[in-house]
Amino acid sequence: LDEDAIRAARLRQDSLTKPRGSLGRLEDVSVRLAGIAGQCPPPLPLPAVVAVFAADHGVHAQGVSPWPQEVTAQMVANFLAGGAAVNAIAAQAGADVRVVDIGVATPLPAAAGLLSRKVRAGTADMTTGPAMSAQEALRAIETGIEIARGLVANGHRCLITGDMGIANTTASAALIAVFTGADPAAVTGRGTGIDDPTLALKVDVIRRALALHSPDPADPLEVLARVGGLEHAALVGLMLGGAAERVPVLLDGVIACSAALAAMAFAPSVTGFLFAGHLSTEPGARRALDALGLEPLIDLGLRLGEGSGAVLALPVVATAARVLRDMATFDSAGVSGEKA
């Protein structure tokens, strides 16, 4: 981050017509946006775009989700038709939606708005072998980087993480357990809303996968390949690419947070470019955010994924930039200061 821009943003915040610090965390967000862009005031993080990476998971075969695997592809069609939650939330926030097939199990027909970047047709079952090869994980990361660069080249000034993949909270919990050292039971949640027996099974599945692979958190590519998902790897790329392009990246819930841990393992400084859009109710989300050193902007009990919670936070981030850019100073407005 650009320290000169950060200093200038802090000074400017303190000159605006309001008691110092009275805009709370909005002020911190604006200062970090200045550091990301390397200028004060920073540009508004608009237009913004949510990139929804869709992929399937071989671990679904273990019964970790009550939803059939074909729902991943059906929801891709729903995104493209504009009928999903992320579409409605993005429409209200004025954000664009791009859908990326990074690894859906079935072939998807070409469609406007769909980026076909399938690395493989879903991962393999992590309880019986690696989810994918290191080469495939790397290809998904590179795809995410390319997509980030392309979106910024097309004028987007804020990247928002989105995801779709039945069973992807299982891979997320496995990644969070590896990167934070937490016990799987502490970071595994109910996902779409599973019952107690299924939750117990899910924790056991993760334990077995970790016992099989003993992934080394210092080798994030291997961690992603063994227990991650294709959308996780692509999201790592989106984050690294966004940071390289000096635009803010808004994280959605537990899938994005788990991917961010991998991104941080590759490049610790990436966290300066990330904002936690919201706090998912998945227990792993809080644990991951703590490890990332990020505080969520919104906490409304969402647990949907797709990018929904991150897009919901876009107006907060945009407002922070707007305040720093547009507010009058005490001098310019002729407003008296506090008595000494």
**Candidate residues 19, 155, 197, 268; the one interacting with a copy of itself per rule CB under 8 A:** 19
**Candidate residues 155, 197, 268, 334; the one interacting with a copy of itself per rule CB under 8 A:** 334
**Candidate residues 181, 193, 272, 293; the one interacting with a copy of itself per rule CB under 8 A:** 193
Q: Tell me how far apart the alpha carbons of residues 29 and 12 are, in angstroms, rounded to a whole number.
A: 14
- Strands of 48-55's sheet in order across: 114-116, 96-103, 48-55, 158-164, 249-251, 274-276
Name the β-bridge partners of 173.
none
119: helix, coil or strand?
Answer: coil
Q: Are 55 and 230 within 8 A, CB to CB? A: yes
Q: Look up residue 164 and give its amino acid.
A: M
Site string for a copy of itself, 53-82 (x = CB under 8 A): -------------xxx-xx--xx-xx--xx
Q: Look up residue 162 and give its amino acid.
A: G
Under the criterion CB under 8 A, does residue 88 sit at the interface with a copy of itself? yes
Listed ranges 32-40, 85-93, 168-176, 224-232: which one lies at the site for a copy of itself (CB under 8 A): 85-93
Rg (CA), the chain: 20
Task: Give all strands (DSSP E) within the chain, no chain letters.
Answer: 48-55, 96-103, 114-116, 158-164, 249-251, 274-276
Under the criterion CB under 8 A, does residue 108 sit at the interface with a copy of itself? no
Q: Are 100 and 147 within 8 A, CB to CB? A: yes
The reply to whether 295 belongs to the active site is no
Residues found in the chain: 340
The least distance separating a copy of itself from the CB of residue 146, rounded to whole angstroms, comes to: 29
Under the criterion CB under 8 A, does residue 197 sit at the interface with a copy of itself? no
CA-based nearest residue to 301, from 273, 271, 279: 279
Q: State which residue, 109 or 181, has the beta carbon closest to a copy of itself.
A: 109
Q: Tell me how far apart the alpha carbons of residues 120 and 138 are, in angstroms, rounded to a whole number.
A: 12
Q: State which residue, 74 or 128, has the beta carbon closest to a copy of itself.
A: 74
Distance set, CA 323 to CA 1, 13, 14 (Å): 20, 9, 12
Site string for a copy of itself, 130-169 (x = CB under 8 A): ----------------------------------------
CA-based nearest residue to 59, from 212, 270, 268: 212
Under the criterion CB under 8 A, does residue 318 sit at the interface with a copy of itself? yes
Q: State which residue, 122 or 130, has the beta carbon closest to a copy of itself.
A: 122
Q: Which of residues 282-301 bind a copy of itself (CB under 8 A)?
A: 297-301
Under the criterion CB under 8 A, does residue 113 sit at the interface with a copy of itself? no
Residue with tokens 């273990």: 62
Under the criterion CB under 8 A, does residue 25 sit at the interface with a copy of itself? yes
Under the criterion CB under 8 A, does residue 91 sit at the interface with a copy of itself? yes
Q: Among all residues, which ones are annotated catalytic? A: 306
List interacting residues with a copy of itself (CB under 8 A). 16-26, 66-68, 70-71, 74-75, 77-78, 81-85, 87-89, 91-93, 192-193, 281, 297-304, 308, 312, 315-316, 318-319, 322-323, 325-328, 332-339
